Amino acid sequence: MGEKVYEVRKVKDAGKGMPLIGDEFPKMEVQTTQGMMKLPKDMKGKWFVLFSHPGDFTPVCTTEFVAFQKRIDQFQELNVELIGLSVDQVHSHIKWIDWIKDELGVEITFPIIADTGKVAKTLGIIHPSKGSNTVRAVFIVDPRGIMRAMLYYPQELGRNIDEVVRMIKGFQVNEERGVAIPANWPENELIGEGVIIPPAADVETARKRLAENKCYDWWFCYIPEEQK
């Protein structure tokens, strides 16, 4: 635990399976509703969340896009950019986001990748039983272009966007302070908004931590919210 420094594993065989946590995000040039983009180059210095959806003009996907847009300020405060993706042409994306604005009163301000299937294949997000539709995937990528987390959902279950926000906050606290993040943080059932101190590696440190910190035992010490 503590600050995680990944040994970067470069993806040499694009399209040979999904990238893994700790991999470099595959280099690609993509067509979006806001023009051409080079990933991860254009996002250097920023976190970004790339999320795929099965298709435009579908109800669950529409609720997800609205939910992402409603939280755009939260993402921007965390230095995070959003990027959508599906195997649809760019004009379909444009018509769909126009419909969302006209009918639901929500303007989608983040770019959406118009994929021919190449990006989906590279990221491993085409399920064999779902034809050419992309699965509901979320990729969280850090400012160095490293994959930090991946989430996959079935077509019938929409995503919890607040969990994506929570994960990025947790990653940033981990990197800033070298601590681990408990379940359901910041509303953990045992330590509330507290964070976990990495386990001691020797007897002396273990005893010192018991004396200096709040602990359930030497291997479970934490920093409570009031001391953060």
47 plus 135 within the same structural domain: yes
- Does 164 map to a domain? no
List, in sequence order, the alpha helices (H) in the chain. 59-70, 72-77, 90-104, 118-123, 161-177, 203-212
CATH number at residue 100: 3.40.30.10
77 plus 186 within the same structural domain: no
122 plus 205 within the same structural domain: no
Give pLDDT tens digits for 30-70: 999 999 999 999 999 999 999 999 999 999 999 999 999 99
CATH number at residue 201: 3.30.1020.10
Q: Provide the annotated active-site residues.
A: 61
Enumerate residue ranges in the chain where pLDDT < 50: 1-8, 11-15
Domain boundary among 126, 159, 192: 159
Give this prediction's pTM: 0.88
129 plus 73 within the same structural domain: yes
142 plus 33 within the same structural domain: yes
198 plus 227 within the same structural domain: yes
155 plus 49 within the same structural domain: yes
- Rounded-to-5 percentages of helix, strand, coil across the chain: 35, 25, 40
CA distances from 198 to 125, 143, 202, 209, 211 (A): 34, 24, 12, 10, 15
145 plus 215 within the same structural domain: no
- Does 54 map to a domain? yes
Which pLDDT belongs to residue 15?
A: 44
How many domains does the chain contain in total? 2
Range of the domain at 127: 28-159
Q: Using CA atoms, how far apart are residues 112 and 114, in angstroms rounded to an integer? A: 6
141 plus 195 within the same structural domain: no
- Does 173 map to a domain? no
Q: Using CA atoms, how far apart are residues 187 and 177, in angstroms rounded to an integer? A: 19
- Does 84 map to a domain? yes
- Does 168 map to a domain? no
Which pLDDT belongs to residue 81?
A: 98
Output the DSSP codes for 36-58: EEEETGGGTTSEEEEEE-S-SS-
- Does 205 map to a domain? yes
Mean pLDDT, the chain, as a whole number? 90
Element holding 139 (H helix, E strand): strand 136-141
135 plus 76 within the same structural domain: yes
Which pLDDT belongs to residue 6?
A: 43
Which pLDDT belongs to residue 155?
A: 85
Q: Using CA atoms, how far apart are residues 102 and 80, in angstroms rounded to an integer? A: 27
Which pLDDT belongs to residue 5?
A: 44
183 plus 113 within the same structural domain: no
Domain boundary among 130, 159, 188: 159
- Does 5 map to a domain? no
142 plus 42 within the same structural domain: yes
